[in-house]
Chain A
Amino acid sequence: MTDLVRARLRTTVLLIVAVLVETTLGSDLRIAGVAPDFMILVVICAGLTGGTLSGAFVGFWAGLLYDMFLTATPVGLSALTYCLIGAAIGALRTSVLQERKSLLPAAALIGTAAGVLLFVGAGDVLGQTQLLGAGRAWLIRVMIVESLWNAVLALPVGYVYAWVARGSAGAERVGSPVRRTSRSAVPTVK
């Protein structure tokens, strides 16, 4: 078994653990009624670590797994959202984002806000109008609080992801964001 296969197996286990934590502990961690989203954090880490394709793949499977535990929205909506967010973060990482200490929290902040907007926007377009039933004020509150929550949780989750994805190129990028300065080493396809 190669290091890459081991890393993929560990990532699968991490997704299962993340969804269990999200559906149990996550709902207890509410500030102003808003809970963090561990699943999108893992997806953002995957995008930063493995690039566009890795972000899209991990995002799709993470979303599909999370959809199994959501009852108010159809299966596939989280998969669609996380897949696009993972791919976007990966694409930005390979082309735009510079290596900085604040890269992961900043990516978590912006990626989460975009994820909330995309989830509600895509859901509304696909007929899930109840997502806007609580009003725009609730949407804005969720977007702000969830983004801040995820920015705070980004570093611990990032270190866990780096440990899990060890063996795959770029894993240390999330765990130790200041170690490398070059963007050229980011793999795009595995």
Chain B
Amino acid sequence: MAVYRRSSRTRNIIVVLVLLALTFVTIDARSHGGGVLSEVRSKVSDAFSPLQRATHAALRPIGNFLTGALDYGSLKRENERLRQELAQQQSEAATAQAEQQDAEQVLHNYQLDKGVLGSIPFASVQIIQAGSSNFDNTVTINKGTDAGIAVGQPVLAAGGLVGTVVSTSSRIATVELVSDPNFRVGVSLSGGNTGSAAGAGRLLPMKVDVVSTDHSPPQEQVGQIVVTSGLAMERFPKGIPVGKVSKVVTIPGAIEPEIDLQPVVDPTSISYLDVALWSPQQ
């Protein structure tokens, strides 16, 4: 009898815990990031951020060592590839420098501006949490609303698009990466075409949906850089490199080709990002 009472109590407690968890899920999902639980989450993240920074700093050498050990083969190949690219780019740099001077002279002569990107201020931030969950394509950065960071601002690294700010608190912010399946960005394609590039998950290329128009289908080449379109109602300014075309497939019978983009920047391999202090109203 005692055993029965004890197991019945255990069952009741588990049912209460499960119902409590389901209630939390329902409340948070229905508030769409603006409810009490999101507020609590934001406060807890803020409170833990100094501890996270300290832990991150303390464990970083161990993490680097283990990452190096686990990825030794791919790092070696990557190193060789980068050396080749560096040699190639050094030779191209001299040519590009001369062309740049010519271009600047032309812009100056015709009094043209340098585009939207040139006029945007940036905030340099450090990644303090690189998305620990395997289903969470976000990173947490070490600056928030106190540094002028707001939801919706584009985030770049090494000149390429990395993601967008999706939540902020006073001292930290969360960036949704381009690899997230919820991420969408309008892109310019050849022949006056536009499309929408969407994330497909960690380590997977982005997929481009070409917007059907009267224009002839885009003729993208593998290796070509695709940039943001910056059309009206777009979340990002024009001209930010999004990805390099990694695959173009034209299915027989289909009008538009299927295009895969390899993001320009791999956010998992860097520690610092730049947040563009820009909003679509600008």
Q: Residues on A close to B: CB < 8 A? A: 20-35, 37, 52-53, 56-57, 60, 63-64, 67-77, 79-80, 83-84, 87, 116, 119-120, 123, 126-128, 130-131, 133-135, 138, 142, 146, 188-189
Contacts and interface: CB of A to CB of B under 8 A. Distances in A.
A52 B13 CA distance: 10
A27 B7 contact: no
Interface in B43-78: 44-45, 48, 51-52, 55-56, 59-60, 62-64, 66-67, 70
B10 A52 contact: yes
B21 A138 contact: no
A134 B181 contact: yes
B55 A28 contact: no
A133 B20 CA distance: 27
Contacts of B17: 56-57, 60, 79, 83
B28 interface: yes
A142 B132 CA distance: 13
B134 A35 contact: yes
Contacts of A29: 63, 66-67, 70
B138 interface: yes
B25 A23 contact: no
B63 A63 contact: no
B132 A138 contact: no
A21 to B, nearest CB: 7
A130 B24 contact: no
7 contacts: A21-B55, A35-B133, A63-B21, A68-B48, A72-B135, A77-B21, A134-B204
Nearest to A116: B134
Given A73-B136, A119-B135, A188-B6, A53 B13 contact: yes
Ordered nearest first, which 8 A-B pairs have the shortest CB separation? A134-B201, A133-B181, A76-B24, A28-B63, A80-B21, A74-B28, A76-B25, A27-B130
B87 to A, nearest CB: 29
A27 B24 contact: no
